[in-house]
Amino acid sequence: MIKILHLSDIHMGSGFTHGQIDPETGQNTRLQDFVKTLSKCIDRAIGRDSEPVDLVLFSGDAFPDATPPPYVQEAFAEQFRRLADAKIPTVLVVGNHDQHSQGSGGASLCIYRTLAVPGFIVGDTINTHKIATTNGEIQVITLPWLTNSILFTNQKTEGLSLAEVNQLLIENLEPVLESEIRKLDPEIPAVLVGHLMADRATFGAEKLLAVGKGFTIPVSLLTRKELEYVALGHVHKHQNLNPNNNPPIVYPGSIERVDFSEEKEDKGYVIVKVEKGRANWQFCPLSVRAFRTIKIDVSQQDDPHQAILDAIASHEIEDVVVRLIYKLRSEQLDLVEAASIHQALSSAHSHTIRAELFSQLTRPRLPEFNAGATLDPIEALSAYLTTKDDLQDIAPEMISAAKTLLGDSLLS
């Protein structure tokens, strides 16, 4: 039986706006959080408190983008080097955030292949790797984030809608994946590790944009009897897309909260025990820094300032990333003392405060229009987003994605 640690979506260097500078190290405290959490994963892999695993699968998105600052790359490398030192084979699949210019300029993770790090395999192509572990051989199919340059070598996609491009990608991917599966040795367990959006995945607000930014792969392509386990990355919410576990198709989710859209999600990694014909897996939660939204409507309060302070006092905020949102009437603005609210939030790790005027929030969700009039979809979306507090952080990106989708539909 081969023991595997599966982790994904580290995004080392994300969320600096939710941290502060540590005066002793000069580093952002959120970078320190990410390093600490990744260290816990590596500790488990090398067996600091239990038996070591035989193989580590990382299913993509090491950094927020393909050109992270050197000190962020170093923090990532210091942790993964511990796997090389422990002689634990490691597969690093390239995610969408790891690629330069949508796959046309290499990937940040390719440095590990260039440096010939012992035991490290970089999955930037669709390929099958036979890996010797301390408990036997295993076959690993790598499926990186798919781009036009990977599958559309001689086909033009200009003028096609997103749906048409997606269908063309699936048609091209199916025989390539089938070829890899047919090459598998039927006597040796096999897993697939990929960075992709699967059509049954559920995701939080931060992933609504994925529909407009990438391709969606049907789960049916991954549900193969030749595979014992499918290790996926890209979606930050942990889930198993194949409840009958034949094979398990698992997103472990991200290891740290990137923003408030992940406030209520558990974070962790997956331990898998694989043998031919079977895989047992377990999600292992990680203790990570909490995010907490304190939301209160004080528009009907005689003393809105005290109501806000009472709301803060009713929550545990020490060392928590806090977002305070309060609604009030314009005539109440002078009754709220910003300095004392900041003081009340001073025990938080970091905090942001957003005041919203009641008069702005009670307008119709959509613009008024007469019968027979044409409602501009971008205008309608913009009006809708003003009423959704939980989408404010990503509203500009949603509008941009909508414009891209509308542009695609006009070209089709």
Identify whether residues 146 and 31 lie together within a single domain. Answer: yes
Mark whether 126 and 239 lie in a shared domain: yes
* CATH number for 234: 3.60.21.10
Answer yes or no: is pLDDT of 360 > 60.
Answer: no
Nearby residues of 371 by Cβ (< 8 Å), 6 or more positions away: none
268 and 400: one domain?
no
Asked if 116 and 234 sit in the same domain, the reply is yes
Sign of the C-alpha dihedral computed for residues 88, 94, 98 and 101 taken in this order: positive
Pairwise pLDDT comparison (230 vs 98), residue with the higher score = 230
394 or 268, which is more confident? 268
| pLDDT tens, residue by residue, 89-146 | 999 999 988 887 554 556 788 888 888 889 999 999 999 999 999 999 999 999 999 8
Q: How far apart are CA 259 and CA 257, in angstroms?
A: 6
Structural domain total, the chain? 2
Q: For position 245, what pLDDT does the model report? A: 93
Do 253 and 329 belong to one domain?
no
**Residues 310 and 271 placed together within one structural domain of the fold:** no
Q: Which residues of 394-410 are buried (b: 16+ CB within 10 A; e: fewer)?
A: beeebeebbeebeebee
Domain of residue 235 covers 2-285
Burial of 96 (0-12, 13-18, 19+ CB in 10 A): buried
The last residue of a domain, from among 253, 285, 317: 285
Q: Are residues 240 and 314 in the same domain?
A: no
Calpha distance 241→230 (Å, rounded): 10
State how far the Cα of 70 lies from the Cα of 76, in Å rounded to an integer. Answer: 10
Q: What is the distance between the alpha carbons of residues 95 and 124, in angstroms, rounded to a whole number?
A: 9
Q: Are 165 and 172 in contact (CB under 8 A)?
A: no
**Same domain, yes or no: 399 and 270:** no
Residue at which a domain ends, from 285, 303, 331: 285
Q: Are 312 and 395 in the same domain? A: yes
Residues 76 and 196 in one domain: yes
Whether residues 212 and 316 share a domain: the answer is no
CA dihedral 212, 214, 218, 224 (to 10 degrees): -160
pLDDT tens-digit map of 136-195: 999 999 999 987 666 655 566 677 777 787 888 888 899 999 999 999 999 999 999 999
For tokens 């392509």, what's the residue? 221
Of the three residues 230, 252, 285, the one that is the final residue of a domain is 285
Q: Are residues 224 and 278 in the same domain?
A: yes
